[in-house]
């Protein structure tokens, strides 16, 4: 199966173009060429791509494109969607230039192409890579902007010729969405751009896509009558060209200048709402027994919405930090712009000091339905009652088991309790109460869209009422199986008539409550388990056992360190003799599972199926026949799929189940293809990027329960991710809650005896030698950065950051001259002090660095300095050697330091013998650092954990740390990809970032 990727190349004075290329993981993945730009070894021929994609690329031409991809000396790394495990992916990886056969789609045809490629056939010959899915989402966003009229016509110059184009108007929430698209762009999208900044790439793509969407949405002609000829006035020709060919050749220069000036002014006026302070509107419900609404005016900070100043307080002279010098003028100007969107505001503007205005119920409804969305889209603040926008009419499902023991008897008799018959009743509800058919018919006859029902205001629309009236005539009570009823709950009713409440009893009630772990009687620690389960782990065991009895799968999503391994092993112990379990995990965790099984459940028979010496044929069959638990890796499961499919598994368990979050990968499809009675996913992050990942993992656990991916995307993903739809969010929680158990270790109700984690920053000064080297690197690298462009500039920025961080570590790290270490680094001096203190207290510490060469210098020096063992774990060690080092650190009684490479040891290790964690150099990705810290801060840790992050004052380390602190809410999206985001800063911003504060030198 081909993995198809998309890229966007911005145009130079012309529309950009969509680039499509593909990988074929079925061919050799390595290259023997050593040229600067080499042919991609497993790229697909352009003709083969065209055959696979069909009419979607009818307008494309073929070309050879040079792209920059993460690579090793053997070749480019395969994309995650191929399901191929990249060898040596953590060592020697750098950007390499590769030529690929590609299809080039002109910008004017890109919208059509992406629309046809948005939903590939799961059984077809290709699947979409992250970059193509991203561009399809961007195309969908462009269509949404066009549908909402968030665009203006412009006159642009393309290849020296005037052209009529539609351009997006991004204000308010759309500005935030655009920033999200920029922050979330997969690097492959601009791998062929030659280094254009992310912002320009997104904007150029959005411009072209919106222009295509606008032309599709508008009628063939905006003008009435004949199209103007080539000698007609430019404004007439321009207007006609907005729905025809965009080029306007032969226009007089003065006409072009005048029209562009007027259109530019129009665009500027449309973006006026993007200031630091905006006008805000708050709709206030009537007091009881009255029908008079109020619309309050206010000024609000665009950056911090909690800074809110009602107009009445503004006229009394109050304010908040950041207000303009004349806030009254800002308010009046904003109200004047808003009149165009809500004409009734002109009444308030007749007052000298407008602060609020009364509204009737009909006017309040007009504001809710028509004005509020327009005002929000235009950048104004809008606050509505909590019930606004929710579907007022819904369904309540009530179900009762036939007798108190029927479900349990069915489980005992058939082993599948969902075949039990239950009684059900469906009621219509509005607000918080059920309504009868007569009450519903009366509301429909009244045709009042905004009505108070039992003291609560609700918004009724015709579609909902019609759907409700149809539902009245359907079967509303009777019998069905528990399995059918469960499917009804998961489907969540209809789009216009959602299921809003479920009332069930018995085991089904426990399941559907989403709180089965709390409602079930906790199972005690099983006999033969070496240890004692904590109370929340006993509840987890009872939940897992409960799902298994019903023949259902689940996601154990407990926070990292809460003992998912122990709970799973205790479950297997309770089921020992009832069947065989296959556990699939990353290669780095194979030893951990094997050792933990031997530690907790020594009576469990375990076979590890992994590596070149793994058993095959009859020997494999014999090993499995004598095992209770078979451990394998995701890569081995893919390679040995047919062998594993031949075994009758009682349960398949996926650890670190985010490995199957992409349902289209070969790895994910292979694991799904292994048959089992029940399935279990273990992951602390069931959703990392988008809700399709939750669908993928849920579909592994309970195939088909959430329906096909397309329906899930339409029913849940798109409403939640694009509109933050509260009804869809509640429906998804109701549908998935019964099958997901998530507890956080920060919740003291879950675990009260986990010690504290104390994080602190350790500020270090540069030595004079470091300061001199730092300044020299800045001057040399800034000269190179200023003289280069595109991908070469990005490479120089990354190289400059690496060199500056090496200087901050130690001069010998940069110079690589084997020179002495003591007395030359502020960081090393601070580490020496801390190491002495830690060792003298009899403690152990983890010291993380991202540079293997620095760790190799540091390890012998620290061992000599402390006269204590200093262990050193990095990616070049064999698995056996890694295991030996971890075992020694965990069991040896003497104090010691464990030096670790961040990439090689940031996940998958249990190092609770340490109660100190030191990050010697920063990765600037909070999630990566937290994962590394959690090697020590996890269950089994009995002491408070001291976490120290070294930062050199006055350097880029301090400045980037400050940037992260200022934007903590965005840290996961902006900084989450590592350090690539820094390469898009302007030269002036880089100079400020890299410059050395004179106070940094000690």
Q: Is 818 left (phi over 0), alpha (psi -120 to 50) or beta?
A: left
780 vs 777: CA distance, rounded Å: 5
422 vs 685: CA distance, rounded Å: 35
Q: Which domains, ranges and CATH numbers included, belong to the chain?
A: 2-217 (no CATH), 277-383 (no CATH), 393-512 (no CATH), 517-741 (3.40.50.10810), 757-1000 (3.40.50.300)
Predicted local confidence at residue 510, as pLDDT: 73
141 vs 206: CA distance, rounded Å: 8
The tokens of 443 are what? 């509301």
Q: 303-324: per-residue pLDDT in tens?
A: 677 889 999 999 999 988 878 8
CB within 8 Å of 967: residues ≥ 6 apart? 974
**DSSP states along 300-328:** EESS-TT-EEEHHHHHTT---TT--S-HH
**Residue 372 parent element (H or E):** helix 372-377
129 vs 82: CA distance, rounded Å: 9
The tokens of 112 are what? 């059509």
The tokens of 135 are what? 């561009």
Q: Is the pLDDT of residue 969 over 50?
A: no
Predicted local confidence at residue 410, as pLDDT: 36
842 vs 495: CA distance, rounded Å: 63
Name which of 95-99, 887-891, 968-972 the model is least confident about.
968-972
Q: Is the pLDDT of residue 755 over 70?
A: no
Find tokens 């619309």 and name the residue.
295
Mean residue pLDDT of the chain comes to: 81
317 vs 420: CA distance, rounded Å: 69
| Backbone CA torsion sign across 25, 26, 30, 32 | negative
737 vs 517: CA distance, rounded Å: 11
pLDDT bin (cut points 50, 70, 90) of residue 278 is confident
Query: For the residues 175-196, what does the mean pLDDT come to?
Result: 81
Higher pLDDT, 275 or 610: 610
Query: For the residues 698-726, what does the mean pLDDT come to?
Result: 82
Q: Is the pLDDT of residue 968 over 60?
A: no
741 vs 819: CA distance, rounded Å: 54
Predicted local confidence at residue 394, as pLDDT: 72
Which one-letter DSSP state was computed for residue 369?
Answer: I
Q: 421-437: per-residue pLDDT in tens?
A: 777 777 777 766 777 77
Beta bridge partners of 655: 682
CB atoms within 10 A of CB 900: 25
Classified as helix, coil or strand, 583 is strand
Q: Is the pLDDT of residue 415 over 80?
A: no
Predicted local confidence at residue 194, as pLDDT: 65
Rg of the Cα trace of the chain?
32
Predicted local confidence at residue 412, as pLDDT: 35
**Residue 890 parent element (H or E):** helix 879-891
677 vs 415: CA distance, rounded Å: 11
pTM of the predicted structure, to 2 decimals: 0.55
Q: Is the pLDDT of residue 739 over 90?
A: no
| Pairing mode of beta strands 421-430, 433-435 | antiparallel
Beta bridge partners of 456: 453
Q: Is the pLDDT of residue 181 over 50?
A: yes
Predicted local confidence at residue 971, as pLDDT: 32
Q: Is the pLDDT of residue 496 over 70?
A: no
Higher pLDDT, 1000 or 559: 559
Q: How many Cα neighbours within 13 Å face the side chain of 300?
A: 21
Q: 764-811: per-residue pLDDT in tens?
A: 888 889 988 998 888 888 888 887 776 677 778 888 888 999 999 999
Most confident of the following: 263-272, 613-622, 685-694, 982-991: 613-622
| Backbone CA torsion sign across 635, 641, 643, 646 | positive
CB atoms within 10 A of CB 747: 12
Burial class (CB in 10 A: 0-12, 13-18, 19+), 881: exposed
879 vs 185: CA distance, rounded Å: 35
917 vs 914: CA distance, rounded Å: 7
Predicted local confidence at residue 673, as pLDDT: 93
Nearest to 846 by CA among 903, 907, 920, 923: 920
Higher pLDDT, 277 or 1002: 277
Burial class (CB in 10 A: 0-12, 13-18, 19+), 252: exposed
Q: Is the pLDDT of residue 967 over 60?
A: no
Are 277 and 327 contacting, i.e. CB atoms less than 8 angstroms apart? yes
Query: For the residues 223-236, what does the mean pLDDT come to?
Result: 70
Q: Is the pLDDT of residue 238 over 80?
A: yes
Q: 821-839: per-residue pLDDT in tens?
A: 998 998 898 898 889 888 8
357 vs 971: CA distance, rounded Å: 41
196 vs 743: CA distance, rounded Å: 43
Name which of 52-56, 494-498, 624-628 the model is least confident about.
494-498
Nearest to 324 by CA among 355, 356, 282, 278: 278
């Amino acid at each position: 199966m081909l993995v198809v990727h998309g890229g966007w190349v911005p145009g130079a004075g012309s529309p950009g173009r969509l680039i499509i290329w593909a990988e074929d993981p079925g061919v050799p993945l390595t290259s023997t060429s050593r040229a600067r730009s080499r042919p991609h070894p497993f790229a697909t021929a352009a003709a083969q791509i065209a055959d696979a994609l069909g009419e979607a690329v009818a307008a494309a031409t073929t070309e050879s494109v040079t792209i920059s991809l993460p690579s090793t000396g053997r070749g480019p790394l395969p994309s995650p969607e191929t399901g191929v495990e990249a060898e040596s992916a953590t060592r020697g990886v750098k950007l390499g230039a590769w030529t690929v056969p590609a299809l080039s789609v002109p910008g004017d045809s890109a919208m059509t192409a992406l629309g046809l490629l948005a939903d590939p056939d799961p059984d077809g010959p290709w699947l979409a890579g992250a970059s193509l899915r991203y561009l399809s989402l961007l195309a969908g966003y462009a269509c949404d902007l066009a549908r909402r009229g968030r665009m203006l016509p412009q006159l642009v110059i393309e290849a020296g010729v005037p052209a009529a184009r539609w351009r997006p108007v991004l204000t308010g929430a759309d500005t935030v969405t655009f920033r999200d698209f920029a922050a979330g762009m997969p690097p492959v999208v601009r791998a062929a751009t030659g280094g254009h900044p992310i912002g320009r790439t997104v904007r150029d793509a959005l411009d072209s896509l919106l222009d295509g969407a606008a032309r599709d949405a508008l009628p063939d002609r905006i003008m009435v009558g004949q199209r103007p000829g080539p000698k007609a006035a430019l404004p007439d020709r321009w207007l006609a060209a907005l729905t025809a060919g965009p080029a306007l050749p032969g226009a007089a220069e003065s006409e072009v200048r005048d029209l562009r000036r007027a259109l530019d002014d129009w665009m500027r006026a449309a973006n006026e709402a993007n200031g630091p302070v905006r006008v805000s509107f708050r709709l206030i419900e009537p007091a009881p027994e009255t029908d008079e609404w109020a619309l309050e005016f206010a000024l609000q900070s665009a950056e911090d919405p909690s800074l809110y100043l009602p107009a009445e307080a503004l006229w009394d002279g109050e304010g908040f930090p950041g207000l303009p010098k004349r806030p009254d003028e800002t308010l009046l100007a904003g109200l004047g712009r808003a009149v165009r969107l809500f004409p009734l505001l002109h009444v308030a503007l007749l007052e000298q000091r407008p602060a609020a205005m009364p509204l009737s119920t009909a006017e309040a409804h007009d504001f809710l339905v028509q004005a509020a969305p327009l005002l929000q889209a235009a950048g104004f603040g809008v606050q509505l009652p909590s019930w606004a926008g929710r579907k007022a009419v819904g369904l309540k499902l009530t179900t009762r088991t036939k007798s108190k023991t029927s479900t349990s008897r069915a489980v005992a008799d058939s082993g599948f309790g969902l075949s039990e018959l239950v009684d059900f009743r469906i009621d219509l509800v509005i607000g918080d109460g059920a309504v009868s058919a007569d009450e519903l018919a009366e509301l429909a006859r009244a045709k009042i869209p905004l009505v108070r029902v039992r003291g609560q205001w609700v918004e009724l629309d015709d579609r909902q009422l019609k759907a409700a009236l149809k539902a009245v005539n359907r079967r509303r009570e009777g019998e069905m199986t528990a399995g059918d009823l469960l499917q009804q709950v998961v489907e969540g009713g209809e789009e216009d008539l959602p299921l809003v409440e479920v009332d069930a009893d018995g085991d089904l009630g426990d399941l559907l409550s989403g709180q089965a772990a709390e409602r079930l009687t906790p199972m005690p620690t099983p006999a033969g388990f070496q240890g004692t389960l904590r109370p929340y782990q006993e509840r987890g065991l009872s939940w897992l056992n409960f799902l298994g009895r019903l023949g259902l799968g689940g996601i154990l999503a407990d926070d990292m360190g809460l003992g998912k391994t122990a709970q799973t092993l205790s479950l297997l112990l309770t089921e020992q003799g009832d069947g065989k379990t296959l556990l699939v995990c990353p290669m780095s965790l194979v030893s951990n599972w094997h050792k933990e099984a031997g530690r907790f459940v020594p009576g469990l028979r375990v076979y590890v199926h992994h590596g070149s010496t793994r058993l095959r044929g009859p020997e494999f069959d014999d090993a499995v026949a004598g095992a209770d638990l078979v451990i394998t890796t995701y890569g081995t499961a893919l390679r040995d799929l047919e062998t594993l499919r031949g075994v009758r598994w009682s349960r398949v368990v996926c650890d670190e189940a985010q490995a199957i979050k992409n349902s289209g990968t070969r790895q994910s499809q292979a694991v799904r293809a292994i048959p089992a009675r029940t399935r279990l996913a273990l992951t602390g992050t069931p959703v990392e990027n988008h809700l399709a990942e939750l669908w993928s993992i849920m579909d592994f656990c309970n195939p088909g329960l959430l329906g096909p991916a397309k329906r899930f995307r339409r029913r849940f993903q798109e409403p939640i991710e694009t509109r933050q739809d509260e009804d869809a969010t509640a429906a998804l929680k109701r549908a998935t809650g019964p099958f997901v158990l998530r507890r956080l270790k920060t919740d003291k109700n879950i675990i009260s005896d986990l010690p504290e984690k104390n994080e602190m920053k350790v500020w270090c000064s540069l030595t004079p030698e470091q300061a001199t080297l730092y300044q020299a690197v800045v001057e040399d690298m800034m000269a190179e950065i200023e003289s280069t462009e595109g991908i070469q500039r990005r490479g120089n920025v990354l190289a400059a950051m690496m060199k500056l961080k090496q200087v901050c570590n130690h001069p010998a790290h940069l110079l690589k001259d084997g020179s002495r270490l003591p007395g030359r680094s502020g960081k090393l001096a601070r580490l020496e002090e801390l190491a002495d203190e830690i060792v003298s207290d009899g403690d152990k510490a983890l010291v993380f660095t991202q540079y293997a060469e620095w760790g190799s210098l540091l390890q012998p020096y620290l061992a000599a300095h402390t006269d204590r063992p200093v262990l050193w774990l990095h990616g070049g060690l064999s698995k056996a050697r890694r295991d030996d080092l971890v075992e020694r650190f965990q069991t040896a009684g003497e104090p010691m330091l464990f030096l670790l490479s961040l990439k090689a040891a940031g996940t998958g290790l249990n190092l609770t013998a340490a109660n100190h964690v030191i990050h010697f150099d920063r990765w600037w990705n909070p999630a990566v650092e937290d994962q590394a810290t959690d090697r020590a801060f996890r269950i089994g840790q009995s002491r408070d954990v001291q976490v120290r992050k070294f930062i050199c004052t006055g350097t880029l380390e301090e400045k980037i740390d400050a940037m992260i602190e200022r934007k903590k809410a965005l840290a996961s999206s902006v900084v989450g990809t590592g350090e690539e985001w820094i390469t898009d800063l302007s030269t002036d911003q880089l100079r400020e970032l890299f410059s050395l504060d004179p106070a940094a030198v000690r």
